[in-house]
Amino acid sequence: VFFFFPCLEYRAKNEIERQEFMFLLTGGVGLKNKYKNPDPSWLPDKSWDEILTVSTFSSRNHVTENIGEWQKIYDSKEPQSFPLPEQWNNTLNELQKMVILRCLRPDKIGPAITTFVTDKLGKKFVEPPPFDLTKSYLDSNSTIPLIFVLSPGADPMSSLLKFANDKEMVGNKFQSISLGQGQGPIATKMIQEGMEEGTWVCLQNCHLAVSWMPVLEKICEEFSSEKCHPDFRLWLTSYPSPKFPVTILQNGVKMTNEPPTGLRLNLLQSFLSDPISDPAFFSGCPEKELKLLFGVCFFHALVQERRKFGPLGWNIPYGFNESDLRISIRQLQLFINEYSHVPFEAVSYLTGECNYGGRVTDDWDRRLLLTMLDDFYNPEIIENPRYTFSPSGIYYAPPKGTYEDYIQFIKNLPFSQEPEVFGLHENVDISKDLQQIKILFESLLLTQGGDIQGTSSGGGDSTLYEIADDILSKVFCLAKYPVRYEESMNTVLGFILLNVTQTTPLSEDKAIKGLVVMDAELEALCGSLLIGKVPENWAKHSYPSLKPLGSYILDFLERLKFLQDWYELGKPTVFWLSGFYFTQAFLTGAMQNYARKHRIPIDLLGYEFQVIPQDTADTAPADGVYIHGLFLDGARWDRTKSKSNAYVCPLYKTSERKGVLSTTGHSTNFVIALTLNTDKPVQHWIKRGVALLCQLDD
């Protein structure tokens, strides 16, 4: 991102229009589309809408008339390298071709950006430099703090302790404290002593001591060469935090050490680190321990690498690191030395529930973690010489050998791994790439600041008028529905807020005309509308949604129509579950109807689920409700196969899956757990991260 942006900004000023540049970052704002998709069998409606939006240099007729040529690009494994149709290939520059790629295959923008930066700046700008603590130290002095910006899975403390040992700053010369409640005064005293005596002081996890950060800022501002001993150094570690003092960041030497990417490099780092790298430890391991040792290292690599797949990997990206692996290895050795047979239940509990599980706050993530651990902590890994860690058979625990044999075995593993080793489907890479590109462009948009007004060739004001008028023309008011004791569902209709979406566009129109003052809230609203993002003021009053503005408005109108039809035509026979503002209210209403009808206390009732073969129904069921509108993420439903196992599948409001942890132990994004019948083992779907969603992101 850092090198792509200045390169992009410079080229954009000379090679493409401002409108095209902003489209590359935002994907455009589209609410209306009067032209029919020429081939919906392969061309998604979203891609077609975006192609129409970039009409400044594209031709709708050319796409319609040469649909076969465009399909070849869409189907290509490397569309970023595939030549466009001749008419376009000869006239468009590289950035304009990237805009077309964003329309057709946004998942391949990443490789296109890498190629772009390599061509314009050189290969060294796309390769991360090695972590060099010595070089950073030489850039500092006693008045300049050294700041480790932490990333999940990487712990710089072991590197820092080794570096301190090399510089002979050990014992009383190196003091460290992990910040938290009540640790501020102790840290202040340590810094004062370090300044006087010339020792090193390390304050860990500054992001956990937000209230003490102003004190730290004041201390650092008072650093001077007269007050500080020349050998004194202040080391700080912190995750990115908006509360971290800006002045310390500006004046300090900043470093980050990301964990190795890929199973091979991750395994290699584990075997090159303490305690495995210690010859005394390794030589004292019997063969059964070596197999389990390799298994737990492989497990450690898997749980770290799953993070890159987003919600399909983990609902919440946990910071598993080397200390979790280190304590698990020590405990494994302890149990093997103490018992004649391996107590798998005990080591599984300590590793899965305590060491790694201690970081896990989501129940569904805990289920996944323990399922993955079962593949490595079981008798098969010791007894079966052909036991493999993946269906392909590439990964397995090698037979007993020397330490060098293990290192060589790891080095011979594939440099990059297929999703099958994680238990995921091969298409998961597409989801991962789309998520990374979304984050990339959101980061680039933040650098634009207030310079987003020129997103249209006709100027920002005319675009705002157009968007606001379009929204106002479509949003309508709902009639109120009477509440009856016999029908709890009528109460569900009360959970809708239209006021904000109707009043804010009106206020924005007046502000542009100069009739009212353009305050900070309206300015933020205008900025969001111009980049196709749902305004923050709307999101506060809205149901959860990750859709861009155009799709959000269309979805919102569908919800209003669903409720209006309910009012005009009566209670539907099949309910659109995703269309409710508060989904749990509908589920409670359905249960309450049954409880009142059969005179059973509601707290004694539970749900049963059945997937029926048809999509519609003419009559409602005698008890319970028919629902539709759910999406299966990570799998598809096959109506033709008979199914014997039952997979407990969580239902989430959005694909983000994570939310605020509620008193029930579940995320606020979580709705309910449904049982889905399957012909495969339940573990297969747990590893695939299969879940139901109320809505998609498009």
Domains of the chain as residue ranges with CATH: 4-125 (no CATH), 133-255 (3.40.50.300), 263-422 (1.10.8.720), 460-572 (no CATH), 630-693 (no CATH)
- For residue 140, which of 67, 225, 219 has the smallest C-alpha distance? 225
| Weakest mean pLDDT among 230-234, 265-269, 287-291 | 287-291
Where does residue 282 rank: exposed (0-12), middle (13-18), buried (19+ CB within 10 A)? middle
More confident position, 562 or 463? 562
| Residue 1 pLDDT > 70 | no
What whole-number distance in Å separates Cα of residue 32 and Cα of residue 553?
A: 11
Residues 6+ apart with CB under 8 A from 452: 22, 445, 460, 527, 530, 531
What pLDDT does 569 receive? 86
Confidence of residue 539 (pLDDT cuts 50, 70, 90): confident
Taking residues 129-152, what's their average pLDDT? 86
| Weakest mean pLDDT among 145-159, 204-218, 388-402 | 145-159
What pLDDT does 13 receive? 61
Taking residues 538-558, what's their average pLDDT? 86
The β-bridge partners of 396 are: 388
What pLDDT does 458 receive? 41
What pLDDT does 199 receive? 94
What pLDDT does 499 receive? 56
Taking residues 128-133, what's their average pLDDT? 74
| Residue 455 pLDDT > 80 | no
Residues 6+ apart with CB under 8 A from 558: 579
Residues 6+ apart with CB under 8 A from 310: 431, 432, 435
- For residue 318, which of 272, 264, 364, 275 has the smallest C-alpha distance? 364
pLDDT digits (tens, 9 = 90+) for 329-376: 999 988 988 888 889 999 999 999 999 999 998 999 999 999 999 999
| Residue 644 pLDDT > 90 | no
Residues 6+ apart with CB under 8 A from 438: none
Running DSSP on this structure, what letter comes out for residue 450?
Answer: T
What pLDDT does 30 receive? 59
Taking residues 506-533, what's their average pLDDT? 73
What whole-number distance in Å separates Cα of residue 406 and Cα of residue 427?
A: 32
R_g of the chain, CA atoms, integer Å:
29
pLDDT digits (tens, 9 = 90+) for 88-102: 888 888 888 888 898
Query: How many CB atoms are closer than 10 A to CB 111?
Result: 15
CB 324 within 8 A of CB 356: yes
The pairing of beta strand 626-628 with beta strand 574-576: parallel
Helix%, strand%, coil% for the chain, nearest 5 = 50, 10, 40
Share of the chain above pLDDT 90, in %: 35
Q: The tokens of 107 are what?
A: 């998942």
What pLDDT does 508 receive? 60
Confidence of residue 202 (pLDDT cuts 50, 70, 90): very high
Taking residues 597-611, what's their average pLDDT? 91
Share of the chain above pLDDT 70, in %: 85
Where on the phi/psi map is residue 176: left (φ > 0), alpha (ψ -120 to 50), or beta? beta
What whole-number distance in Å separates Cα of residue 104 and Cα of residue 79?
A: 9
Taking residues 407-420, what's their average pLDDT? 90
pLDDT digits (tens, 9 = 90+) for 270-287: 898 888 888 888 888 887
What pLDDT does 114 receive? 85
pTM to 2 decimal places:
0.81
Q: The tokens of 698 are what?
A: 């498009």
Averaged pLDDT of the chain:
84
What whole-number distance in Å separates Cα of residue 503 and Cα of residue 521?
A: 13
What whole-number distance in Å separates Cα of residue 86 and Cα of residue 91?
A: 9
